[in-house]
């Protein structure tokens, strides 16, 4: 004896329901695209350009180890902290900008330097 096949219930969806679901999906997709576009926009107004007025090096040996999971990817020796003092006339103040060694060595007093404003002062 064959058991009777269970009934297949097909939900009744109208064209109106399909249109509302499609419009809601498009609206959510539009919000996601808008958010991505806003995040990808370049930072405006947080870049500051000034003149180097001083250089400061604080010597301390440091070893930075970078790793991924359980594997060590690299070890980097750092001589110390390289800081350039940059005078920004539009803000009427001097910033202490930490930089990498090549930038520190390439910039002299009177050179121009563009950097991103500190997070506490960003607009």
Residues 19 and 53 in one domain: no
Instruction: Please report whether residue 3 resides in a domain.
Output: no
Q: pLDDT, tens digit, for every residue of 26-63?
A: 999 999 999 999 888 776 778 889 999 999 999 888 88
Instruction: Please report whether residue 1 resides in a domain.
Output: no
Average pLDDT, the chain: 88
- The domain of 38 spans 13-42
Share of the chain above pLDDT 70, in %: 98
Instruction: Please report whether residue 25 resides in a domain.
Output: yes
DSSP category for residue 41: S
Mean pLDDT, residues 60-69 taken together? 84
Residue 25 has pLDDT above 90, yes or no: yes
Instruction: Please report whether residue 65 resides in a domain.
Output: yes
The side-by-side arrangement of strands in the sheet containing 112-116 is 93-99, 71-88, 47-68, 112-116
- The model's pTM is 0.57
More confident call, 79 vs 112? 112
pLDDT at position 74, please?
A: 86
C-alpha to C-alpha distance for 89 and 40, rounded to whole angstroms: 30
Q: Which helix (H) or strand (E) holds 106?
A: helix 101-106
DSSP 1-38: -PPPPPPPPPP---HHHHHHHHHHHHHHHHHHHHHHHH
- The alpha-carbon radius of gyration of the chain (Å, integer) is 29
- Grade residue 64 by pLDDT with cuts at 50, 70 and 90: confident
pLDDT at position 47, please?
A: 86
């Amino acid at each position: 004896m064959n058991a009777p096949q269970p009934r297949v219930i097909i939900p009744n969806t109208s064209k109106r329901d399909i249109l509302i679901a499609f419009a809601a999906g498009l609206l959510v997709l539009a919000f996601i695209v808008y958010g991505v576009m806003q995040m990808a926009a370049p930072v405006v107004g947080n870049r500051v350009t000034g003149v180097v007025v001083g250089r400061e090096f604080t010597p301390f040996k440091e070893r930075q180890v970078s790793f991924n999971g359980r594997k060590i990817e690299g070890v980097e020796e750092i001589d110390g902290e390289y800081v350039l003092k940059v005078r920004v006339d539009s803000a009427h103040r001097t910033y202490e900008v930490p930089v990498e060694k090549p930038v520190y060595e390439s910039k002299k007093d009177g050179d121009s330097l563009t950097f991103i404003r500190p997070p506490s002062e960003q607009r």
